[in-house]
Amino acid sequence: MSTNTNNNGLYDVADLQHIANELFKALPNEFPKEISLSPDHNDHPKATKVVETLLSTGNLAEFTPNTSLQNPTTAYPSHSPVSGLGVSPSVGNYANTGVAGLYPVTDLDTVFPNDKNFNINNPNTGFSDVNLKGSSNDNNPFSSFALNDNYLPFQTQSSSFESELREALASVNTAFGIQPALTLNPAEAQNSYYFLENNPFAFDKKNSFPTAGKGSSFHGIHQLKSTPFDANLIKKDFPILSEKVNGKPLIWFDNAATTQKPKSVIDRIAYFYEHENSNIHRAAHELAARASDAYEAAREKVKTFLNAGSINEIVFVRGATEGINLVAQSWGDNNLSAGDEIVVSNLEHHANIVPWKRLADKKGLKLRVIPVDDDGQILLDEYAKLLNSKTKIVAFTQVSNALGTVTPAKKMVEMAQAVGAKVLLDGAQSVSHMKVDVQDLNADWLVFSGHKIFGPTGIGVLYGKEDLLNDMQPYQSGGNMIQDVTFEEIKYHKAPNRFEAGTGNIADAIGLGAAIDYVTKIGINAIGQYEHYLLEYATKLLKEIPGVRLIGTAANKASVLSFNLQGYSNDEVGQALNKEGIAVRTGHHCAQPILRRLGVETTVRPSLAFYNTTQDVDKFIETLWELKKVRF
Ligand code: PLP
């Protein structure tokens, strides 16, 4: 590779830009097809790393930087890894390209010594992706930036917060008995699930999966590989996370609304329709047996996941909303009478307010509300004052969808039961972020939705204590839920069939089982710890942006970062983020009472899951800083 030199013997910028663009064109899709070496562009971290590396090895001479870049604006946080370079600083891992005014004094071959064999049709060739574990190599001059096998991208940075984070993540891996990484070669990383053995045919026959020799192309869950928690690899299990939105890689920060689905879930549902599809429970033929087995195996998985005492305590419903309505009508309508009191919290989603309000209005019941403090935390003393012998049911969420507050659920259940009240716990926002053990929590019912835990839409779970469920009236009636029907008398099944009238959502229940397998194999506690640190990381950076008001600042939070940005409407912020491929929710999040309590009608609400990375967070933060530069 050769370039012209200028009068000072330094290489010509136009030539260098040309060479760089040839190089970048050959890269896989996520790289920009065009980079610019002009001061005003902020192209790609790869370009930054080239320049940083050359600078640090003395292979680039610095020439007078553009004045606008010499004066790092106050708009950027101080922990930027490039803030000391005299070029425009940036956020987190995404250093500004900062390539302006830098003349190369070396051949690019020496920058990419092992990365020269590009094949444009094969994304596995080319130089290492810094974000991909196992694709770095020791001779790579970027190795100080690239991931070592055990590190997430941000872990190579040096701020004290990030070293803390690194230690914490190392402890996630050791705490859960995860061994040092197996090196995945790029082909493996493409094809296999993060933690799974790459054997498409080795399935558990009990779960109606294909067995060796049947020739199915199903690539399902088989066995945990000893691999550290690595969100970058986990991301690869979710096909939609490779989508581009507005030309940018999709960053999915709308997890509180719904989560994305791993390939294992998508494949499991397809497998059901290709090999098992039948109605369940009522036929002598092979496919009915396969479908019934798979459906009941999914129930068993939910039972184990929640640590319920019996599969009879697991009722498949459409989602959390249907579960709550079921309890309100089947239990509430038959057991409550005028003057009785229902207690809900101020944090509730509309799904846990409206059914109770309707019931209260219909039957002359009193609806009482547990207040929260200005951080969005339950006021336990006030809660205690609401409880009395008239309190018949307390219904509250374990995690607030609008603020992320984690409520002291176990304590609140105890307090309610001490006055003889029943408790319904809304687990819609908790089950995907923390261990939910129904025996330990001891709530009488718990509901959640499959689609918020990486499973399909249209399926969810009502857990209920077995005796209680069997005491309750059916919700809907028809086939499947009866033992015997005459025109004189109808005998109902016991739970769970008692509450599963008609043909249920068989395929999606099985898909939910696959989602639970996925989460279980990664480990819900490891997920919780990783997300906790990711949330801390994001919160810290968000708070540094002038004009950001965080809505919901509880000490104990999960996943959610609600905020307003001064000078912008929430929709404007959402649209600006969308332009960068970042999906967040804006609006009232079906939780108007709590937002009004905190003085707002709507918020911008990013919500995190375990496939999000600090790089996603960095991009999000960077976009907000860009907005702040325009309008203060
Ligand atoms: N409860 C909470 C806390 C939620 O966040 C939601 C949905 O956002 C629901 C209940 C209702 O869930 P679904 O719409 O899946 O029934």
Instruction: Give the per-residue pLDDT at 169.
Output: 59
* Three-state secondary structure call for residue 473: coil
pLDDT in tens, 220-239: 233 244 456 789 999 999 99
Q: Is CATH 3.40.50.1820 the right assignment for the domain spanning 265-521?
A: no
Instruction: Give the per-residue pLDDT at 14.
Output: 63
Provide the 8-state DSSP code for 50.
Answer: H
Nearest atom in ligand 1 to 401's CA? 5
Compute the distance from residue 450 Cα to the ligand 1 centre, in Å. Answer: 10
Bridge partners, residue 464, by sequence: 445
Compute the distance from residue 6 Cα to the ligand 1 centre, in Å. Answer: 64
Compute the distance from residue 592 Cα to the ligand 1 centre, in Å. Answer: 14
* Three-state secondary structure call for residue 469: helix
Nearest atom in ligand 1 to 426's CA? 1
Residue to mutate (ligand 1; options 512, 590, 594; most atoms within 8 A of CB): 590
599: burial class by Cβ within 10 Å (0-12, 13-18, 19+)?
A: exposed
**51 pLDDT higher than 90:** no
Write b or e for each residue in 89-113: b if 16 or more Cβ atoms lie within 10 A of its Cβ, otherwise e.
bbbbbbbbbbbbbbbbeeebeebbe
Ligand 1 binding site (Cβ under 6 Å of any ligand atom): 319-321, 349, 351-352, 397, 401, 426, 428-429, 449, 590
Res. 432 pLDDT band, cuts 50 70 90: very high
Instruction: Give the per-residue pLDDT at 124.
Output: 36
Q: What is the Cα–Cα distance from 115 to 335, expressed in whole angstroms?
A: 71
Q: What are 373's two structure tokens?
A: 């403090």
Supply the pTM of this predicted model: 0.71
Distance set, CA 260 to CA 514, 519, 577 (Å): 13, 13, 19
Res. 89 pLDDT band, cuts 50 70 90: very low
Q: Which fold has domain 205-253+523-631?
A: Aspartate Aminotransferase, domain 1 (3.90.1150)
Q: To 10 degrees, the CA torsion angle through 497, 500, 503, 508? A: -110
Region for 563 from its dihedrals, namely left if φ exceeds 0, alpha if ψ lies in -120 to 50, beta otherwise:
beta
CB 551 within 8 A of CB 595: yes
Percentage of the chain surpassing pLDDT 70?
64
Domain ranges of the chain: 205-253+523-631, 265-521
Mean pLDDT of all residues in 250-262: 98
Least confidently predicted of 1-15, 225-239, 296-310, 491-505: 1-15
Q: What are 363's two structure tokens?
A: 């039957």
Res. 271 pLDDT band, cuts 50 70 90: very high
The phi, psi pair for 456, rounded to 5°, reads -75, 165
Distance set, CA 202 to CA 220, 465, 523, 583 (Å): 9, 36, 21, 37
Active site residues: 590
Mean pLDDT of all residues in 206-227: 34
What order of strands is seen across the sheet that includes strand 603-605? Answer: 548-551, 562-565, 603-605, 585-587
Compute the distance from residue 556 Cα to the ligand 1 centre, in Å. Answer: 20
Nearest atom in ligand 1 to 319's CA? 16
Distance set, CA 25 to CA 47, 121, 123 (Å): 13, 12, 12
Instruction: Give the per-residue pLDDT at 283.
Output: 80
* Shortest-distance Cα residue to atom 5 of ligand 1: 401
Residue to mutate (ligand 1; options 350, 399, 403, 429; most atoms within 8 A of CB): 429
Instruction: Give the per-residue pLDDT at 193.
Output: 42
Provide the 8-state DSSP code for 331.
Answer: I
Q: Which residues, 6 or more positions from 297, have their beta carbon under 8 angstroms from its beta carbon?
A: 206, 207, 208, 510, 513
Q: Which residues, 6 or more positions from 53, have their beta carbon under 8 angstroms from its beta carbon?
A: 59, 111, 141, 142, 144, 145
Instruction: Give the per-residue pLDDT at 281.
Output: 87
Nearest atom in ligand 1 to 452's CA? 15
Nearest atom in ligand 1 to 451's CA? 15
* Shortest-distance Cα residue to atom 6 of ligand 1: 428
Compute the distance from residue 320 Cα to the ligand 1 centre, in Å. Answer: 6
Nearest atom in ligand 1 to 322's CA? 16
Least confidently predicted of 50-54, 257-261, 314-318, 477-481: 50-54
Mean pLDDT of all residues in 521-530: 95
Mean pLDDT of all residues in 349-370: 98
Compute the distance from residue 401 Cα to the ligand 1 centre, in Å. Answer: 8
**315 pLDDT higher than 50:** yes
227: amino acid identity, one letter: T
Nearest atom in ligand 1 to 400's CA? 3
CB 619 within 8 A of CB 92: no
Mean pLDDT of all residues in 429-436: 98
State the DSSP H helix or E strand holding residue 25, giving kind and residue range, or none if neither.
helix 13-25
Q: Residue with structure tokens 């030539």?
A: 15
Compute the distance from residue 356 Cα to the ligand 1 centre, in Å. Answer: 15
| Per-residue 3-state assignment (H helix, E strand, C coil) for 583-624 | ECEEECCCCHHHHHHCCCCCEEECECCCCCCHHHHHHHHHHH
Mean pLDDT of all residues in 67-71: 29
Residue to mutate (ligand 1; options 326, 345, 349; most atoms within 8 A of CB): 349
Output the CA angle 491-319-266, nearest 5 degrees. Answer: 115
Q: Which residues, 6 or more positions from 344, have their beta carbon under 8 angstroms from its beta carbon?
A: 352, 353, 356, 367, 368, 369, 370, 394, 395, 396
Pick the more confident residue, 182 or 441.
Answer: 441
Pick the more confident residue, 85 or 617.
Answer: 617
Compute the distance from residue 429 Cα to the ligand 1 centre, in Å. Answer: 7
Q: What is the Cα–Cα distance from 329 to 476, expressed in whole angstroms?
A: 10
Compute the distance from residue 344 Cα to the ligand 1 centre, in Å. Answer: 15
Closest CA to 98 of 111, 116, 80, 112: 80
Q: Which residues, 6 or more positions from 58, have their beta carbon under 8 angstroms from its beta carbon?
A: none
Pick the more confident residue, 587 or 147.
Answer: 587
pLDDT in tens, 111-152: 333 333 333 333 332 322 333 333 222 332 222 222 233 333
State the DSSP H helix or E strand holding residue 549, giving kind and residue range, or none if neither.
strand 548-551
Least confidently predicted of 38-47, 246-255, 505-514, 613-622: 38-47
Mean pLDDT of all residues in 543-547: 97
